[in-house]
């Protein structure tokens, strides 16, 4: 027993010595792969470890995960001793956020030459009238390349970035973007849109995601319509449940290779085949297509006939992923699935995800036995498409 214990102690000492042989830079890098809370706990290991976590280059402060108040953010930033930092992500969970507090976080990002900045203030504004109205400061962001703002009212000038994201920024007033290095632009709206995004110059823009909760996205299209010709990746969220839907007129998307659509529909809604002529047929070199149907209202017995499938061969489309296929008493999903099966002449893989629940919460099946039966019925329905695929194509049912 004594010899065994001695061997175990020797192994622990050897491992400890190996860690001590590593440089501070490597140990700080190791700490960046764990949560901030766990990194802070390493301060008890030794005098050397006491200060290491204070030099993290990726600072991810998640008050919700750590169950901490907003004051914890200021404390962590005050303790940081590094000369610079690559990332600063702040996510709060509850409590009122004040402008001067956010100013301090922005000043920290500037002083530390942060490259990627993300502010998620949703937890601090559970109600619309509490959302902080923040004027993004005109600071010398010489190093900032990625900016993400969630649940912030924004007014300010554009930054020179590679990636820019607005999510649930209520009452977005005006953002002018002149960014020669901007590659990715994301706008996810949940409130009133004020036609406030203007892309003045973005020659490198190739990836765009646009979506609004209950409104038509036509307005937000105005921000990027002049850059559609150069897009390689496009992701859209369309709500087709409104009485008056005005879909934007798409230009030819000759550079587009990857297209994703998430469409909110009703089971008795109009056919989705309109999207094929409006958008998909404008993308002659499309290689990958992802489609998700979000059922806002589902009634399985729909009294209309299935429409004829238009002929429009796609000679580059190889991979299709379809989520939300029900097919049992519905036509709008089946029509679109058949459109691609008949027109994707070089199709290599068709992925039908019938297991992911995309029905509105109020219409979801609560009974687990009935839910399992419906899932099995959807799987059996999806398997029928296998016999209709072009030669060499693979069907995957999830």
Task: Write down the pTM of the prediction.
Answer: 0.71
The answer to which of 283-297, 315-329, 347-361 has the lowest mean pLDDT is 347-361
Q: Please tell me what DSSP assigns to residue 72.
A: H
Dump pLDDT digits (tens) for 271-318. Answer: 788 778 778 888 999 999 999 988 876 565 555 677 788 888 999 999
Dump pLDDT digits (tens) for 132-184. Answer: 556 666 677 778 888 887 776 655 555 567 888 877 665 565 666 777 888 99
Contact 259, 286 (CB under 8 A): yes
Tokens representing residue 248 in the block: 């934007």
Per the model's pLDDT, the better-predicted residue between 132 and 204 turns out to be 204
Per the model's pLDDT, the better-predicted residue between 108 and 298 turns out to be 108
pLDDT on residue 349: 95
Tell me the range of 3-12, 33-42, 191-200, 362-371 where mean pLDDT is highest.
33-42
Residue 197 predicted with pLDDT over 80: no
> What percentage of the chain reaches a pLDDT higher than 90?
18
Residue 97 predicted with pLDDT over 90: no
Maximum pairwise Cα distance, the chain: 83
Dump pLDDT digits (tens) for 386-396. Answer: 888 988 999 99
Alpha helices in the chain (DSSP H): 2-21, 24-31, 36-41, 47-52, 63-66, 71-79, 99-111, 218-221, 274-278, 332-343, 368-383
pLDDT on residue 36: 86
Domains of the chain: which residue ranges?
A: 257-398
pLDDT on residue 258: 96
pLDDT category at 192 given cuts 50, 70, 90 is very low
- DSSP line for 351-375: EEE-SS--B-GGGS---HHHHHHHH
pLDDT on residue 175: 66
Contact 352, 396 (CB under 8 A): yes
pLDDT on residue 377: 84
**Which phi and psi angles does 297 have, rounded to 5°?**
-150, 135
Contact 375, 355 (CB under 8 A): yes
pLDDT category at 196 given cuts 50, 70, 90 is low
């Amino acid at each position: 027993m004594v010899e065994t214990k001695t061997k175990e102690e020797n192994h622990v000492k050897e491992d400890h010595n190996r860690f001590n042989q590593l440089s501070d830079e490597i140990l700080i890098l190791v700490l960046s792969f764990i949560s901030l809370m766990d990194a802070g706990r390493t301060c008890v290991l030794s005098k050397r470890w006491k200060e290491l976590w204070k030099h993290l280059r990726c600072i991810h402060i998640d008050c919700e995960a750590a169950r901490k108040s907003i004051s914890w953010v200021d404390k962590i930033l005050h303790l940081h001793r590094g000369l610079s930092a690559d990332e600063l992500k702040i996510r709060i969970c509850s409590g009122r956020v004040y402008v001067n507090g956010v100013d301090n976080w922005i000043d920290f990002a500037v002083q530390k030459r942060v490259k990627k900045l993300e502010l998620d203030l949703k937890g601090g504004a559970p109600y619309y009238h509490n959302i902080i109205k923040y004027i993004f400061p005109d600071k010398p962001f010489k190093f900032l390349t990625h900016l993400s703002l969630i649940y912030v009212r924004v007014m300010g000038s554009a930054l020179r970035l590679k990636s820019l994201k607005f999510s649930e920024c209520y009452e977005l007033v005006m953002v002018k973007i002149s960014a020669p290095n901007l590659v990715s632009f994301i706008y996810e709206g949940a409130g009133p849109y004020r036609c406030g995004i203007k892309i003045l110059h973005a020659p490198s823009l190739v990836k765009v995601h646009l979506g609004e909760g209950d409104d038509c996205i036509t307005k937000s299209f105005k921000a990027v319509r002049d850059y559609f010709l150069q897009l390689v990746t496009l992701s859209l969220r369309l709500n087709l449940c409104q009485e008056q839907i005005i879909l934007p007129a798409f230009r030819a998307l000759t550079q587009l290779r990857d297209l994703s659509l998430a469409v909110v529909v009703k089971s008795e809604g109009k056919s989705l085949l309109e999207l094929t002529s409006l958008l998909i047929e404008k993308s002659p070199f499309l290689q990958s297509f992802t489609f998700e149907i979000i059922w806002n209202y589902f009634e399985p017995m729909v009294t209309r006939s299935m429409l004829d499938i238009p002929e429009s061969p796609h000679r580059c489309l190889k991979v299709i992923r379809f989520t939300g296929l029900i097919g049992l008493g519905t036509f709008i999903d089946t029509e679109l699935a058949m459109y691609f099966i008949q027109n994707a002449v070089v199709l290599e893989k068709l992925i039908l995800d019938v297991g992911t629940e995309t029905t509105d919460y109020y219409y979801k099946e609560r009974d687990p036995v009935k839910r399992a039966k419906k899932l099995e019925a959807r799987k059996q329905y999806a398997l029928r498409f296998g016999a209709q695929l072009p030669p060499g194509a693979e069907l995957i049912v999830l």
